[in-house]
Amino acid sequence: MATIETASENPLLPAPRPPQRPLGLFELVRTVKDNSIATFTDDAYNLDFLDRSFLWAHAYIVNDPEAIKHVLLDNAMNYTKTRLARRLLEPGLGQGLLTSDGETWRRHRRIMAPSFDPRSVASYGPLMTEHTEALLTGWDQLANGAELMLDQAMMRLTLDIIAQAMFSADAADIADLVATGVERYQIDVRPTLFDLIPLPPWMPRLRSMKFAKQIFSEFDVKIDRMVTERRAGKIERQDLLARLLAARDEETGTGLSTQEIRDQVITIFMAGHETTSLALTWTLYLLSEHPGVEAKLHTELSEVLGGRTPRAEDVPRLRYTRMIIDETLRLYPPAHTLSREAMAADEICGRRIPPRSVIYVVPWVLHRHRKLWERPDRFEPERFLPERSAGRHRFAYVPFGAGPRICIGAAFAITEAILILATIAQRYRLRLKPGHPVEPRGLITLRPRNGVAMVLERRT
Ligand code: HEM
């Protein structure tokens, strides 16, 4: 469907201005700490392959979809999570699914997979919309035109949903801790000079793990209590915690240790809410700037739902809603950078890759690549129409990663984002507070630096 676009219908979107030349070491460290997506020069958005090696540390950014397929899927056995990613995440997440590798990862992924299959995801639909409606009931108490911080509201909403879906818990006290923990962790756990200069792997790093211990020790006490109560309790549950507690090794018959369970619980809490809440925050921000897209969304919602609460079965028919989410994940991918370390030498884009090289697949860059996307910096959900997606390489778009390490929660996240967006947009229109600066900031995830202040407009 052709649309006539004016400049105000399709404004330029916030993104850091690429530096004129590759940054020197100190500038690079400073910029990575403040906003890692601000380090990419124009080259990164134009070339298939960039060599970012420094001294004896080999590092490459790969934008060629075939090469990305090679790293994430075809030769995935040769690529592990990087030491830097582990150093940043392990103090909090331990050996959870995001950080582990090899046999431990395979076994744990097998145990957890049933909680994320299509039937389970559909079963979470009612609790996703109930929590959203409870949030809207709160908004109904506010005056029309009231202001609120959307990012905080979405963070709390997705946190409450993940707690209930995965742990059946009224885990309000744990959720409170996670909410403050994530914030501090992202600010505190940023790479230092000593993470970025290629020190030999046996050298100790200067980073103290004290802060991570502090953040998570309270959390550990509460998880221990939740696990103990569940082990002692008589109530039968079918949730992820029940699966973790019941799992037995096929050969030895042993179950998961309390530490292993704790690591998975915190990983799911962390990985399972912040990314989706960011996807929703960016989506509602983009809609506030694109009234034409918003009007089409409203048309679809009234045709498919006619004012009623959406259900998981409606998701396949909410096609335009889905395209809006897909387009947001292209422009503002919450997981903006993926990294892998080569175990053995390999060849990528005709170049020899020595062992221990780090390969970066950067959705932030890839999804805005000049050769792969038309008008890459514009918000155009229609680019995800089936006929316009047909010629696109599957690995040109990887908001959830790909291959064996693809996000276990992708279907959960898409269903949740569609149901929440459909519920909110039927009752409210959100408008960016005039003058509020919106700026994407690459920390562990892609966050709006100043949050997103919105003005509420009730739809009549
Ligand atoms: C829009 C929302 C989300 C985005 C953009 C996202 C993105 C990603 C990406 C890119 C990866 C792969 C990382 C890599 O290859 O290095 C990943 C892995 C993972 N995600 Fe998500 N995610 C989202 C939602 C969720 C949800 C809702 C959950 C849980 C309920 C979740 C749990 C995980 C876990 C446990 C992994 C590690 C999987 C493994 O290595 O086996 N994510 N996610």
For the stretch 50-64, pLDDT in tens is 999 887 889 999 999
Contacts for 358 with CB less than 8 Å, ≥ 6 apart? 57, 58, 59, 60, 82, 84, 339, 340, 341, 342
Q: Which two tokens stand for residue 244?
A: 């973790």
Please report, rounded to a whole number, the percentage of residues in the chain having pLDDT higher than 70.
89
Question: pLDDT tens digit string along 405-444?
Answer: 999 999 999 999 999 999 999 999 999 999 999 999 999 8
pLDDT value, residue 5 = 38
pLDDT value, residue 274 = 92
Judge whether residue 3 has pLDDT over 50. Answer: no
Tell me the CA–centroid distance for residue 406 and ligand 1, in Å. Answer: 7
Among 250, 234, 289, 283, which residue's Cα sits nearest to residue 433? 289
Judge whether residue 208 has pLDDT over 80. Answer: no
Are the C-beta atoms of 213 and 94 separated by less than 8 Å?
Answer: no
Question: pLDDT tens digit string along 74-89?
Answer: 999 999 999 888 887 8
The ligand 1 atom nearest the CA atom of 339: 16
Q: Which of 73-77, 189-193, 292-296, 307-311 has the lowest mean pLDDT?
A: 189-193
Q: How does residue 8 score in pLDDT terms, banded at 50, 70 and 90?
A: low
Residue nearest to atom 7 of ligand 1 (CA): 400
The ligand 1 atom nearest the CA atom of 268: 29
Q: Please tell me if the CB atom of residue 334 comes closer than 6 angstroms to any atom of ligand 1.
A: yes
Q: Please tell me if the CB atom of residue 68 comes closer than 6 angstroms to any atom of ligand 1.
A: no
- Taking the mean position of all CA atoms in its chain, how far away is CA 332? 10
Query: Angle at CA 253, nearest 5°, toward 250 and 259?
Result: 105
Q: Which of 30-34, 78-82, 272-276 has the lowest mean pLDDT?
A: 30-34
The ligand 1 atom nearest the CA atom of 162: 30
Please state the length of the chain. Answer: 460
Q: Please tell me if the CB atom of residue 271 comes closer than 6 angstroms to any atom of ligand 1.
A: yes
Q: How does residue 253 score in pLDDT terms, banded at 50, 70 and 90?
A: confident
pLDDT value, residue 231 = 83
Are the C-beta atoms of 16 and 45 separated by less than 8 Å?
Answer: no
For CA atoms 456, 313, 275, 37, the dihedral sign is negative
Q: Please tell me if the CB atom of residue 421 comes closer than 6 angstroms to any atom of ligand 1.
A: no
Residue nearest to atom 41 of ligand 1 (CA): 405
Q: Which of 69-73, 229-233, 235-239, 273-277 has the lowest mean pLDDT?
A: 235-239
Tell me the CA–centroid distance for residue 267 and ligand 1, in Å. Answer: 10
Q: How does residue 184 score in pLDDT terms, banded at 50, 70 and 90?
A: low
pLDDT value, residue 4 = 36
Q: Please tell me if the CB atom of residue 338 comes closer than 6 angstroms to any atom of ligand 1.
A: yes
Contacts for 430 with CB less than 8 Å, ≥ 6 apart? 150, 284, 287, 288, 424, 454, 455, 456, 457
Residue nearest to atom 39 of ligand 1 (CA): 405
Q: Please tell me if the CB atom of residue 413 comes closer than 6 angstroms to any atom of ligand 1.
A: yes
The ligand 1 atom nearest the CA atom of 105: 41
Mutation probe of ligand 1 site: the residue of 86, 273, 275 with most atoms within 8 A of C-beta: 275
pLDDT value, residue 174 = 75
Cα 432 to Cα 149, 195, 247, 458: the distances in Å are: 10, 37, 47, 14
The CATH fold assigned to 25-199+222-458 is Cytochrome p450 (1.10.630)
Are the C-beta atoms of 77 and 341 separated by less than 8 Å?
Answer: no
